[in-house]
Amino acid sequence: MNASSDSHTTARAFWVEAPNRGTLREENLPLPQAGQVLVRARYSGISRGTEALVFSGRVPPSQYQAMRAPFQDGEFPAPVKYGYASVGQVEHGPDDLLGRKVFCLYPHQDRYRVPADAVIALPEGLPPERAVLAANTETALNVVWDARIGPGDRVCVIGAGVVGCLVAWLAGRIPGAEVTLVDLQPQRAQIAARLGVDFAAPDAAPTEQDVIIHTSASAAGLSTALACAGREARVVEASWFGDAAPTVPLGEDFHARRLKLISSQVGQLPADRRARWTYRRRLVKALELLLEPDLDCLISGQSRFEELPALMPRLAEASGEVLCHRIVYGQDWKP
């Protein structure tokens, strides 16, 4: 371990100071301790759906504890330091990690110290620019497990955000599965084609589906999901509505068709996997899945870290335009 390299005492971090207002703060790093690594961030990813709700102060009080990020500082609604998709390089730590590019579930900050077991070295061949998708890929993997999609199933994914696109991509790799990605934005058809799945507008969404996954966080999307379901089909609610109270159409033939409406949330592993899988194993697998170059189409833009306070209000409002927005730190910036 090269102790002399760990001379950094301060860092800059993005904080939500108040609903819809963010700033960069300089803060003191904790003193180095045995078993820790010092990471210099190279990229971070904005998980627009959840982070927009956090930025706008829309985390309901009942979910303050459940929605905490692993290394969050502060408390909801604000001030709070939030985020969970950081890719960086280890500047100080154990020899097997020193100099390695790693992923960490850390907020937007240019340097940070964490326990060594909180970082995962990127697999050989994975560009760090793409690794910012790891947290969303982990969520999508959990959704596919919860959905129990089988070979040959007809699958409909409502909502072509990052998680919806990743769910569709994973489902499309199951032998014989017929997967349709549904979204209001016609330009998402190009992304669906890159991911190897079909595309439809909501009014043309296929019916008689075996499994339907809803990720749009809208009442209209949930209505479409239920309408696509075949008899006794599974409808998986994978989006999070924050403090909204959507209208759920449980009348008409919902009961006659014996539909199953279940939730999926990345905070827990599915019950049938907990005996064998750990959170770390799941995240390692998510990083391995990102070796697919076509997933670069899910990065919709990038900006400098210094621009984040002015950028976040625009990202929070641009629901139809933004997939994953990448934040670039220091010398890694490329226009």
Question: How would residue 320 be classed by pLDDT, with cut points 50, 70 and 90?
Answer: low
Per domain, the residue ranges of the chain are: 3-130+290-332, 136-263
| 262-298 tens-digit pLDDT | 999 898 999 999 999 999 999 999 999 999 999 999 9
> What is residue 290's three-state secondary structure?
coil
Cβ within 8 Å of residue 251, ≥6 positions away: none
* Euclidean distance between CA atoms 72 and 105, whole angstroms: 10
Q: Output the pLDDT for position 4.
A: 41
For residues 258 and 226, give the distance between their C-alpha atoms in angstroms, rounded to a whole number.
Answer: 11
User: Given this model, what pLDDT does residue 210 score?
Assistant: 98
Determine the angle formed by the axes of helices 188-195 and 162-172, rounding to 10 degrees.
Answer: 30
Helix or strand (DSSP H, E) at 143: helix 134-147
pLDDT of 332 reads 58
Q: Write down the residue that tokens 């129990």 correspond to.
A: 148
pLDDT surpasses 60 at 1: no
Mean pLDDT in the chain? Answer: 93
Strand pairing report for 178-182 and 154-158: parallel
The DSSP annotation for 202-240 comes to: GGG---SEEEEEE-S-SHHHHHHHHHHEEEEEEEEE---
How far is 177 from 153, CA to CA, in rounded Å?
5
Q: How sure is the predictor about 335, in pLDDT bands with cuts at 50, 70 and 90?
A: very low
pLDDT digits (tens, 9 = 90+) for 206-263: 999 999 999 999 999 999 999 999 999 999 999 988 787 888 888 788 888 999 999 9
The topology (CATH level 3) of 3-130+290-332 is: Quinone Oxidoreductase; Chain A, domain 1 (3.90.180)
Q: How far apart are CA 265 and CA 55, in angstroms?
A: 20
Angstrom distance (rounded) from CA 104 to CA 89: 10
CATH 3.40.50.2300 fits 136-263, yes or no: no
Does the structure show a pLDDT above 80 at 7? Answer: no
Whole-prediction pTM:
0.93
| Residue 45 pLDDT exceeds 90 | yes
pLDDT bucket at 86, cuts 50 / 70 / 90: very high
pLDDT band at 319 (very low <50, low <70, confident <90, very high): low
Per-residue pLDDT averaged across 185-201, rounded? 97
Identify the pLDDT of residue 68. Answer: 94
Please check whether residue 224 is in contact with residue 157, taking contact to mean a CB–CB distance below 8 angstroms.
Answer: no
Q: Look at residue 63 and tell me whether its pLDDT is greater than 70.
A: yes
The 3-state secondary structure of 11-79 reads EEEEEEEECCEEEEEEEECCCCCCCEEEEEEEEEEEEHHHHHHHHCCCCCHHHCCCCCCCCCEECCCCC
Chain segment 21-30, per-residue pLDDT in tens: 999 999 999 9
| Count of CB atoms situated within 10 Å of the CB of 129 | 18
pLDDT at 200: 98
Query: 49 φ, ψ to 5°?
Result: -60, -60
Q: What pLDDT is attached to residue 330?
A: 86
